[in-house]
Amino acid sequence: MSDKPVIPANKLAGIYIKIRNKRADLRKAYEADDAHLDGQLQAVVAEMLSTCEAVGANSIRTDAGTIIRTIKTRYWSSDWEAMHDFIQTNAAFDLLERRIHQTNMKLYLEGNPDKLPPGLNSDSFYDISVRRST
């Protein structure tokens, strides 16, 4: 038996909610500050892009640092069914990221408990959630 005093569940729930609320407040303040700074940063980036374009340069060396202009390209699909068909037809599975949609895998396994994909790993653990009392 432990000499450690048992903290009543009511008190634990109250402490949990207080910490969770404080974290939410901190997150909200951080996000507001970060959004403000991001706006300033985007304005500076726009100015640097204009400067690079005006002087016809992809890099500008300064005493404070070197400004480097690069082209970034993002890809996405507006027709996922066609994209899946294309990937399957061309065996181009490396076009996909290597991660499993957690909810869809859970639903698949619930509906197909005898069809376990090879190499699938899982980790289950108990977690706690606390709802505020009304």
Q: How many domains does the chain have?
A: 1
In a domain, 85, yes or no: no
Q: pLDDT of 63-110, one tens digit each?
A: 999 999 999 999 999 999 999 999 999 999 999 998 999 999 999 999
User: What pLDDT is stored for residue 130 in this prediction?
Assistant: 81
Q: pLDDT of 109-133, one tens digit each?
A: 999 999 999 999 999 988 888 888 8
User: Cβ(67)–Cβ(59) under 8 Å?
Assistant: yes
User: What pLDDT is stored for residue 125 in this prediction?
Assistant: 87
In a domain, 120, yes or no: no
Q: pLDDT of 15-64, one tens digit each?
A: 999 999 999 999 999 999 999 999 999 999 999 999 999 999 999 999 99
Task: Measure Cα distances from 65 to 53, 59, 81, 106 in Å.
Answer: 18, 10, 46, 49
In a domain, 132, yes or no: no
Can you give the residue range of the structural domain that contains 51? Answer: 9-68
User: Cβ(132)–Cβ(17) under 8 Å?
Assistant: yes
In a domain, 25, yes or no: yes
In a domain, 114, yes or no: no
In a domain, 31, yes or no: yes
